[in-house]
Chains A and B, each alone.
With several copies, the nearest count.
Chain A
Amino acid sequence: MTLDADWAERWIRRTADTVAGRRDELTELDRQIGDGDHGENLVRGFRAVVAKLDARDGQDGATEAAGPRLVGDVLKLTATTLMSTVGGASGPLYGTAFLRAAKVTGRESIDTRAVVAMLESALEGITVRGKATPGEKTMVDAWTPAVDAAAQAASEGGDEAAVLRAAAAAAAAGATATIPLVATKGRASYLGERSAGHEDPGARSTALLLGAAVEALAERSA
């Protein structure tokens, strides 16, 4: 079960479905400690990416028809589209993350080492842009454990599925772990102590994103 452009595209399409389905949940989290638009921002952004993918693949979305493509192409399209449609803090952050990820995945298919590199690069991009460190109650708190868990799983010889599962599980745990934190970056930081007790919306959407990567693979190999 290889991680190729077809998988990457399924990943992004699944993410679009997921954020659309969880829009109100993300919105509510952002309403608690932000400005209530995170759900809408991501729905708008990933809907636009899907539109671009459809346009490229033909309306039926029959990806097979398109012949061999690079994983990085899909991620790059995702990056530029998110940057130009999301707005808000999460737009440049996810955009930069996918841009960096694309740089290290310019192949027809990627192995577990490339998956780890992809996640590392994504986190690096987010940190370069947003200057957040772990514990500041941001999406970094989901990406950081995800990267570590992926590297761990890979070093233990896990396959692509195992590596992605480890990353997704760690991201979900990391998102939950943001609940008690007091935000020191982003809009939530304006609340000071009042930001504690709420899960960070960006950390949650990160968990959804990586969860979709696992589902896309399962779906593929099904």
Chain B
Amino acid sequence: MGEDGYVAKEGGSVKKLLNDPANAVADSLAGFALAHADIIQVHHDPAYVTRVGGATTGKVGLVSGGGAGHEPLHTGFVGDGMLDVAVPGAVFTSPTPDQILPALQAADGGAGVLAIVKNYTGDVLNFDLAVELAETEGLDVATVLVNDDVAVEDSTYTAGRRGVAGTLCVEKIAGAAAQQGGDLADVTGVAHRVVDNVRSMGVAVTACTVPHVGAPSFDLPGDQLEIGIGIHGEPGRRRVKAVPADEVTQMLLDPVADDLELSAGERVLLFVNGMGGTPASELYVVYGRARRLLEQRGVTVARSLVGSYVTSLEMQGASVTVLRLDDELAALWDAPVHTAALRW
């Protein structure tokens, strides 16, 4: 299997800048640790990433995690004003309880820990197990499930909406609340407010290839777009013939804005996220259109973020995230953050 990661296979080219794909996550974490030694520390076996200095006494600890392959989420968001600990699993596979438990412990500064979990069965089950164990060891843990993906109907017919790019907003804003000294109830409350007010939807222009799989995560004909994708290379809800960016953007923005029931006069954060393989120049085309569509609804874009922050390996595509803002959320978004991937 040692070759799968970087040579072509029938399944499709999986050439990547990797060594043994079985060690892809560990190799990458090792380089990440060297590049950002001023901000983070990497713990190996089990793998998790902590802020240099570790937990801050008296501060609520923030932990998030999930499958690798979404970088910079979550490891790139560890640092002042955001996460205390991030727990990466294998590519697109949630971390295991024996990783999550020490991660929760490492984040505890005596004021309790908030676990930010993207709503996928795997992540939920593994975090549940770990939180149960942590609680039996006397740790005070609250959990918030992020489920911002409007592509999935939130009904008894699904595992519930997925957590996608909106997760960044939860981590940034809850992180600021914790940094400012909120207690576990406050920070959890703010996190829930973000979850209640953030929605996202994504499109894939190309699929991505998981190193050890060696074939694209789905087969997308050359003239088709996959609308409503998740961030694990899952196929989307429907396929459409490729159309101009303005139309694609509308297919993403309208469901998001409708689901939020945005009304004229409201202020929002507009976050256009790249899936990993899309050039920044295209993301700004999408951003420009999404912004015009929001303005046509009388909605004011008061904050913006454009870039590849919640990715699916090298997938080409983008997602549009809208967060309804109030003064407190806006202030917490503006609060200083100092991480490998997000800094102001």
Contact = CB atoms under 8 A, between A and B. Distances in A.
Interface stretch (B121-129, B248-256, B295-303): B121-129
Nearest to B127: A92
B90 A44 contact: yes
Interface stretch (A5-13, A115-123, A164-172, A185-193): A185-193
B232 A92 contact: no
Interface stretch (A49-57, A80-88, A141-149, A154-162): A80-88
26 contacts: A27-B213, A35-B92, A35-B230, A35-B233, A36-B215, A37-B93, A40-B213, A44-B90, A84-B96, A87-B90, A87-B94, A87-B126, A88-B126, A89-B120, A90-B122, A91-B96, A92-B97, A92-B129, A185-B159, A186-B121, A186-B159, A187-B121, A187-B122, A187-B159, A190-B151, A190-B158
Given A182-B157, A187-B159, 9 more contacts: A27-B213, A28-B215, A36-B215, A37-B213, A83-B97, A87-B67, A87-B122, A186-B121, A190-B234
A87 B217 contact: no
B281 interface: no
A88 B129 CA distance: 12
A193 to B, nearest CB: 10
A35 B158 contact: no
A147 B122 CA distance: 25
Contact of B213 (A36, A87, A88): A36
Contacts of B217: 31, 35-36
A209 B218 CA distance: 27
Contacts of A189: 152, 157-159
B54 to A, nearest CB: 23
A113 interface: no
Say what secondary structure dominates the interface of chain B. Answer: loop
A87 B159 contact: no
Interface of B: 67, 89-98, 120-122, 125-126, 128-129, 151-153, 156-159, 162, 210, 212-213, 215, 217-218, 230, 232-235, 237
Contact of A185 (B90, B91, B94, B121): B121
Say what secondary structure dominates the interface of chain A. Answer: helix
Given A27-B213, A92-B126, A184-B158, A84 B97 contact: yes
Contacts of A86: 96
B235 A191 contact: yes
B159 A190 contact: yes
A89 B232 CA distance: 14
B35 to A, nearest CB: 26
Given A36-B233, A89-B125, A189-B157, A83 B213 contact: no
A15 B210 CA distance: 24
9 A-B pairs with least C-beta separation: A92-B125, A84-B98, A35-B232, A88-B122, A89-B122, A189-B158, A89-B121, A87-B93, A88-B93
Contacts of B233: 35-36
A150 interface: no
The contact size tier of chain A is 35 or more
Contacts of A31: 213, 215, 217-218
Interface of A: 27-28, 31, 33-37, 40-41, 44, 83-93, 95, 129-130, 182, 184-187, 189-192, 194
B215 A184 contact: no
Contacts of A83: 96-98, 129
A95 B210 CA distance: 25
Interface centre among B122, B126, B235 (most CB of A within 10 A): B122
Nearest to B92: A35
A22 to B, nearest CB: 14
A37 B215 contact: no
B91 A37 contact: yes
B234 A40 contact: no
Contacts of A186: 121, 159
Contacts of A191: 234-235, 237
Contacts of A35: 92-93, 210, 217, 230, 232-234
Contact of B92 (A37, A130, A182): A37
